[in-house]
Amino acid sequence: MPDPEILTENPWRSLRRFTDARIGLGRVGVSLPTRELLAFQIAHAQARDAVHLPLDAEKLADDLRELEGLGDPLVLHTTAETRDDYLRNPPKGEELDASSVAALEEAAGDPCDLALVAADGLSSFAAQNNVAPFLRAFLDHVEGVSLSRPVIVEQGRVAIGDHVGEILKARAVLVMIGERPGLSSPDSLGLYFTWGPETGLHDARRNCISNVRAAGLDYDRAAVRAAWLLSEARKVETSGVALKDRSSEGEIDASDRATSFLAAPSEG
């Protein structure tokens, strides 16, 4: 047990049942106790590694080969040559390099309904851990939809889907990409859906489903939402702002006076 004269614990730490925020850490004087400093260091190290450890694209391709209903994965690369180049020059992560363009053109068959693109983005952990289980769930919801061979892109940004989709002449593209890692979520996968992909599209044309991971938005719910986006987009033939928020309409009621435990009606 820590000496209470040195380390003051915070009784409200129990409120962590309401939040993942690092509340009630306790203190030594006014500073962070050693145990909390070390816990932070570990979380930060994981987030850093998520950014800098390269995606094992061959391993991911093997994982995808085990899923029934998918074609053989293609592994491609953007014009960003190194991680440093990728971080300093975002546009380079939005364009396939010349050999990848050639490989993709050769592989392109008839136009498909949906191109599937997995990319490392800012967290290789996210793509490595979550793309295969997400697709396993997603495949249950896309009967009758023609899918591209899954394309794995190294050093990719969200807009890489536009380039891939354009070459494949896909009617829509779903980019599964590692999001900027947080301390509590180093492996968050983002899903970006775009109807009519072509290079140069604005972000306003995309729909995003965020935080897909075992401890976040689970694969089944993410799959249902992604499939909803696809089926709605096929009706209105667009994506982005025009589809936005309709799936969550009516969830928030401004007249909801549900207040917090801090301001509950007093003494009653």
Token pair recorded at residue 246: 């309709």
Choose which of 3, 11, 82, 235 interacts with other proteins (CB under 8 A): 11
8 lies in the site for other proteins, by CB under 8 A: yes
Q: Which of 6, 10, 105, 146 binds other proteins (CB under 8 A)?
A: 10
Polymer length in residues for the chain = 268
Q: Is 182 in the site for other proteins (CB under 8 A)?
A: yes
Q: How far is the CB of 225 from other proteins (least distance, A)?
A: 15
Measured from the CB atom, is 110 or 267 closer to other proteins? 267
Interaction between residue 211 and other proteins (CB under 8 A): yes
Query: Could you give the CA distance from residue 229 to residue 7 in angstroms, rounded to a whole number?
Result: 51
Instruction: Return the structure tokens found at 101.
Output: 């363009």
Taking CB under 8 A as the binding criterion, the range among 48-56, 65-73, 109-117, 235-243 that sits at the site for other proteins is 48-56
Of these, 43, 101, 107, 242, which contacts other proteins (CB under 8 A)? 43
Residue at token pair 């991971």: 213
- Closest to 196 measured CA to CA, from 222, 227, 230: 230
Q: According to the binding rule CB under 8 A, does residue 200 interact with other proteins?
A: no
End-to-end CA distance of the chain: 38
Part in contact with other proteins (CB under 8 A); list of ranges 72-80, 110-118, 192-200, 259-267: 259-267
Q: Identify which of residues 144 and 265 has a Cβ nearer to other proteins in the complex.
A: 265
Count residues near other proteins (CB under 8 A).
60
Scanning residues 118 to 147, which ones bind other proteins (CB under 8 A)?
122
Determine if 224 is a binding residue for other proteins (CB under 8 A).
Answer: no
Q: Which range touches other proteins (CB under 8 A), out of 71-79, 109-117, 163-171, 182-190?
A: 182-190
Q: Rule CB under 8 A: say whether 31 interacts with other proteins.
A: yes
Is residue 34 at the binding interface for other proteins, with CB under 8 A as the rule?
no
Q: Is residue 184 close enough to count as binding other proteins by CB under 8 A? A: yes
Lookup result for tokens 């994981």: 46
Find the shortest distance in angstroms from Cβ 87 to other proteins. 5
> What's the CA gap between 209 and 185, in Å, rounded?
15
CB of 255 to other proteins, least distance (A): 9
The amino acid occupying position 238 is T
The answer to whether 245 contacts other proteins (rule: CB under 8 A) is yes
Q: Which residues bind other proteins (CB under 8 A)?
A: 8, 10-12, 14-25, 27, 29-32, 36, 40, 43-44, 47-48, 50-51, 87-90, 122, 179-186, 188, 211, 245, 248, 251-254, 256-264, 266
